[in-house]
Structure 1
Amino acid sequence: MKISDLVGSATANTFRSKTRTLLTILAIFIGAFTLTLTSGLGTGINAYIDDTVTAIGASDVMSVVKTPDADDGFGSADAGPAEYDPDTVSSGQDGPPGQQTVVALTPADLDTLADIDGVLDVQATRSISADYIQVGDGTRYVVDVGGLVAGQRTPLAAGSEPDNASSQSQLALPTSYVEPLGFADDAAAVGQTVSIAVTDAQRTQQVIEATIVGVAEETLATGGGVVPNDALTDALFDAQNTGVPAAEAQRYAQAAVWFDPAATDEQISALKDRLADAGYTGSTVADQLGAFRTVIDGIVWVLNAFAVIALLAASFGIVNTLFMSVQERTREIGLMKAMGMGSGKVFGLFSLEATFIGFLGSAIGAVLAVAAGTAISSALAGSFLADLPGLTLIAFEPVSIAAIIGLVMAIAFLAGTLPASRAARADPVDSLRYE
């Protein structure tokens, strides 16, 4: 019997017992469907993270903070309240007590950072706590004031990026503020004037006006705050620190450190080590978004584990299906061996049946998973995920789908080896006498 005849015979024999075979295929389908869908989820989100890192640029910059002492309780949610330290400043982030502050960087720290081997430039990051943003006499809305270091780009829905070389106060407005502030659309907001209020050290509220030059898309990296240019940052920072002694004003939560754009991963890691030796902690944009990737990968692995369990359960169905098939076809097996079919070909025949069952279940599961995932992504992109343009929640790669189908077929083949071995070892005389 030729290989083609063997494959044709195995395909035809697969549906001798249609109900039993369909139930086995259904079990495989569930596992393959889940595995394909969860794999697509991980692919989609990780691709979005990669695109975000690439889109905002500044791959040669890292954020640096002063490393707290190990015994001061900072950074540990289980350490209880942290002891008060007059050298700390607000981190600008929410969190448990003790994690809302960081050890302040001073001009002396900036000089120290500048002297570290591999550091090309240092710039302090000025934290601004705005009270509200307003258009004319309209409604006031709470707003965060962000900022991009040189080299970073703002993903825009309309307009242009704030110009740091301009002496005029400019900002990029998040898309989520366009409608509440009374603008018809993103384009209508460009060129309009807004007021941003800050409260200084004398508890006096000061209002700074700025021009909207762009509308920024909100991503994992850029968040939902307005992005000012240097002129607006200076104005807000000076207004906020009115009445504050100069020594106190020059205390920063973090700094931006530039390094060689051509630096390799090993060189960047070595720079982080040198920063750590000097008492500082550095992290790139990729590092900061890597936390999201770790969480997503963990969730995907857990979901994949359930899918693999379903496939293992389905493999027992394949074993049962083929064992019953071998028993029902005992006389046929004896006849084939009596006519000269070797044990290897008998083994191959039943192994091919198992593999074909695995192929059907995995192929159907993968195709339906792609259809379902595409539909879910499209629906969510227009509703819950509308504020994250460019995110395809569930994305599929042909190589991954082929790998999943291959994996399921391999599991099916292994599951079929036991009944196939039994058929291959069958004695033709005893098999022909079987009733």
Structure 2
Amino acid sequence: MKAADVIGSAVANTFRSKTRTILTILAIFIGAFTLTVTTGLGTGINRYIDQTVAEIGADDVMTVAHQAEQSTADDGPREYDPDAVTTRQGPVTQTVDPITQDDLDAIAAIDGVVSVEPVKRIGVDFVEAADGGTPYAISVGSFIPGMEVQLAAGAQPDADADDAQVVIPVDYVEVLGFASNEDAIGQEVVFGLTDATGAAQTVTAEVVGVSEAGLAGTGGSASPNTALTDELYAVQTTGAPEGQSDVYASATVRFDPSRGDAATQALKDDLSDAGFSATTVEDQIGAFKTVIDAIVLVLNAFAVIALLAAGFGIVNTLFMSVQERTREIGLMKAMGMGSGKVFGLFSTEATFIGFLGSAIGVGIGMLAGTAVGGALATSLFADLPGLTIIAFEPVSVLSIIVLVMAIAFLAGTLPAARAARQDPIESLRYE
């Protein structure tokens, strides 16, 4: 009997006992369905997290600042330092020394630093359409090359362009008088801000994109290109006392992530030894992603347990099949069919049962996941555009089918081995 004949015979014999086989397939279906949905959940959430990471910054960027001095209310009054930058998070107050040009030079000299640029914090008073209208309060974020704003329309800001460009939040399109997201592209807006002398100033920029709201909240602020950031900062610091226009709260350091995690950690350690704290995008959102992965892993574990239970069903199904077909096995062996092909016949039956259960489970799981994800996207998660809570990747889907078939094959080895070991004479005498 050729290999193709063995496969054909195994497929044909699968449904000799239809009820028993269908119940076994149903058990496999439940496990494959659950594994498909939970894997899709992890894929969808992690994909959205990756989009959010791209909005926060590039994977080759660190945010560097002087190490903070922390104090609480119990520490008593702190001596005033006019040059320090102070932030407050709950009961904890952090005081950070500003980054100066000397600090930038010191950071640039550290091994592993590709480049370093100061982070220019911009504070604008309002934005309005170029042809006038009602001004609206708005914030302006820091757009680092390599970041990707989640766009509703238009394009990313061009960091190398000489003209001032900006991506405005989708909530500002209508109030600024634009008919649609697409209509806003190519229009001009005016930012109003106050310089260091208290005088009102304005800066005009071209709208190149409209941003959606994101998990990180970047969709709520305007994203300028480098030219607009420099212009806004220059206007903002006009009239500032000498030495105060070139101090910054933090700096952006570029490094080479391809050197590996060990090199990245070594760079962080060197910066720490120099008195700086360094934070990557992975540090900012990595803990959140780890929690999501852990939850999905636990859900997948329940699905695997269901599959293992289905594996015992396969063992039972094939043991009964071997018992019922004892005389048939004896006849096949008496006609010259080797033990290896007998083993292959029954193990192929087990694998085929696993394939049927997994294919049906994965197919229905994808349909159900897509339907539920679409419904949630327009209801519960309507405020998070771009979030597909359940998403599927071809590699993951195929991996589930292969995994289930492997479990089914292993489950079928015991009854298949028993069939292969049977003595043809004794089998032919079996009643």
AA in 2 matched with 1:172:
V
Contact 1:106/1:251 (CA < 8 Å) preserved in 2?
Answer: yes
Distance 1:155 1:420 in 2: 55
Q: Deviations over 1:15-45 (max 9, x none)?
A: 1111221111111122223323433444455
Distance 1:153 1:40 in 2: 24
Distance 2:143 2:65 in 1: 16
* 1:253 counterpart = 2:246: no
Post-superposition offset of 1:314: 1.0
**Structure 1 pair 423–187 and aligned structure 2 pair: CA distance change class (3 A):** closer
**Structure 1 pair 21–61 and aligned structure 2 pair: CA distance change class (3 A):** same
Distance 1:387 1:226 in 2: 18
- Number of equivalenced pairs: 416
1:176 to 158, 168, 171: 171
Which secondary structure state, in structure 2, belongs to the residue aligned with residue 116 of structure 1?
coil
1:103 to 96, 113, 117: 96
**Structure 1 pair 5–164 and aligned structure 2 pair: CA distance change class (3 A):** closer
Show the counterpart of 1:234: 233
* 1:277 counterpart = 2:273: yes
Show the counterpart of 1:402: 398
AA in 1 matched with 2:121:
S
Contact 1:159/1:187 (CA < 8 Å) preserved in 2?
Answer: no
Q: Deviations over 1:134-167 (max 9, x none)?
A: 66664855x4321123565656523773778768
* 1:304 counterpart = 2:273: no
Which secondary structure state, in structure 2, belongs to the residue aligned with residue 148 of structure 1?
coil
Which secondary structure state, in structure 2, belongs to the residue aligned with residue 179 of structure 1?
helix
Show the counterpart of 1:14: 14
Post-superposition offset of 1:82: 8.5
Post-superposition offset of 1:296: 4.0
Show the counterpart of 2:180: 185
Contact 1:56/1:155 (CA < 8 Å) preserved in 2?
Answer: no
Distance 1:262 1:338 in 2: 65
Higher mean alpha-carbon deviation, 21-30 vs 230-239, is at 230-239
Post-superposition offset of 1:300: 3.1
Higher mean alpha-carbon deviation, 32-41 vs 207-216, is at 207-216
Show the counterpart of 1:213: 207
Contact 2:155/2:208 (CA < 8 Å) preserved in 1?
Answer: yes
Show the counterpart of 2:39: 39
Post-superposition offset of 1:427: 4.5
**Structure 1 pair 415–84 and aligned structure 2 pair: CA distance change class (3 A):** farther
* 1:323 counterpart = 2:316: no
Contact 1:24/1:321 (CA < 8 Å) preserved in 2?
Answer: yes
* 1:125 counterpart = 2:115: no
Contact 1:155/1:217 (CA < 8 Å) preserved in 2?
Answer: yes
AA in 2 matched with 1:395:
F
TM-score (structure 2 length as normaliser): 0.76
AA in 1 matched with 2:119:
T
**Structure 1 pair 263–29 and aligned structure 2 pair: CA distance change class (3 A):** closer
Distance 1:262 1:314 in 2: 44
Contact 2:122/2:229 (CA < 8 Å) preserved in 1?
Answer: no
Distance 1:359 1:2 in 2: 22
Query: Which segments of 5 or more consecutive residues in structure 2 lack a partner in the other structure?
Result: none
AA in 2 matched with 1:16:
R
Post-superposition offset of 1:312: 0.8
Distance 2:356 2:207 in 1: 56
Distance 1:82 1:249 in 2: 32
Post-superposition offset of 1:343: 3.6
Contact 2:66/2:99 (CA < 8 Å) preserved in 1?
Answer: no
Contact 1:354/1:412 (CA < 8 Å) preserved in 2?
Answer: yes
Q: Deviations over 1:50-76 (max 9, x none)?
A: 67777998665432123346xx589xx
2:106 to 109, 112, 117: 112
Post-superposition offset of 1:175: 1.9
Query: Which segments of 5 or more consecutive residues in structure 1 lack a partner in the other structure?
Result: 75-79
**Structure 1 pair 68–274 and aligned structure 2 pair: CA distance change class (3 A):** same
Which secondary structure state, in structure 2, belongs to the residue aligned with residue 253 of structure 1?
coil
Distance 1:357 1:102 in 2: 65
Show the counterpart of 1:424: 420
**Structure 1 pair 82–264 and aligned structure 2 pair: CA distance change class (3 A):** farther
Higher mean alpha-carbon deviation, 368-377 vs 178-187, is at 368-377
Distance 1:357 1:222 in 2: 48
* 1:344 counterpart = 2:340: yes
Distance 1:115 1:83 in 2: 38
CA RMSD of aligned residues (A): 4.4
**Structure 1 pair 377–196 and aligned structure 2 pair: CA distance change class (3 A):** farther
TM-score (structure 1 length as normaliser): 0.75
Contact 1:346/1:423 (CA < 8 Å) preserved in 2?
Answer: yes
Show the counterpart of 1:147: 142
AA in 2 matched with 1:234:
Y
**Structure 1 pair 81–306 and aligned structure 2 pair: CA distance change class (3 A):** farther
Q: Deviations over 1:393-414 (max 9, x none)?
A: 51322x4333322211110011
Which secondary structure state, in structure 1, belongs to the residue aligned with residue 117 of structure 2?
strand
